[in-house]
Structure 1
């Protein structure tokens, strides 16, 4: 299962890097401001110095590197969990979270902040701005919840081995 999780992590990381490269260097989002794609969806350039949804902003270098270290510790725990994964759903989900985390770690190390650009809104109510890495982290977390709720019975897995 470790190999499956690693493949999911690498794919998530690569897709995140490609999307951020495209929005920064090709689409030139920093110079465009807010670009309306649909009446409920914009792309907008945000440098997120905090964690999810901009919480716990780390505006100085100590905070920046503390968030890098904290995220690496979390990734270490996830890798340990991945080694014990029981099925491809679990390993893939953990891999998505790891890949997304590495995408955001890369940004924090290279730029000092995470690049966010997707924004949903309804009239004057704007949701948090996020990126592809955040999406993979969210999808992976949801899949882990689904797998833990509806996944294989551990007793059945022992019988199959």
Structure 2
């Protein structure tokens, strides 16, 4: 049952992520433009800004060598496999859906690494001179999925022991 909930979420996240990256690269051609203002609310806003992330979260473990990229691809594939196994055993609907979001995002970024040697990041949120790390839809799905997993673990009703057991 958990896979029937999580896998469609993973597929939807993956499709939306790859479609958004195709649009950014092929239609908008953001690498040529570098930056497109999108939304300004006084000193805060959101731009489309092209970044090729050769690392993992927040650019950590970045590197340009082939071996480095292969190591990141292998690590991402192992994590996705672990998450799929966890999804198959998920105890709640929320956990299954959250794991689907994380898996879809992880696979979306894995595809980027295989195609480009880096992840396509393009959403730049800022307030004044402060900018959050540039991210993509896959990253957003991963963060929201992890937040939902934490909420599920913290707020799930505790199972009660049966009387006389």
**TM-score normalised by the shorter chain: which range applies?**
over 0.9
Deviation at 1:36, TM superposition (A): 1.1
Q: Which residue of 2 aligns with 1:11?
A: 12
Note the residue ranges of structure 1 that are not aligned, 5 or more in a row.
none
Counterpart of 1:120 in 2: which secondary structure? strand
- What does residue range 24-63 of structure 1 map to in structure 2 within 5 Å? 24-39=25-40, 40-63=45-68
Deviations 1:28-77 (A, max 9, x none): 11111111112321111110000011111021110101000001111111
Counterpart of 2:114 in 1: which secondary structure? helix
Moved more, 142-151 or 118-127: 118-127
Q: CA RMSD in A?
A: 1.4
* Residues 1:128 and 2:129 aligned together: no
Q: Which residue of 2 aligns with 1:117?
A: 122
Q: Which residue of 1 aligns with 2:90?
A: 85
Please identify which structure carries the higher helix content: 1
Aligned with 1:73 (options 75, 78, 99): 78
Counterpart of 2:121 in 1: which secondary structure? strand
Deviation at 1:153, TM superposition (A): 2.6
Note the residue ranges of structure 2 that are not aligned, 5 or more in a row.
none
* Residues 1:140 and 2:145 aligned together: yes
Moved more, 137-146 or 75-84: 75-84
Counterpart of 1:9 in 2: which secondary structure? helix
Q: Which of structures 1 and 2 has the bigger CA Rg?
A: 2
- Runs (4+) of structure 1 moved beyond 3 Å? none
User: Normalising to structure 2: TM-score of the pair?
Assistant: 0.91
Moved more, 108-117 or 120-129: 120-129
User: Normalising to structure 1: TM-score of the pair?
Assistant: 0.93
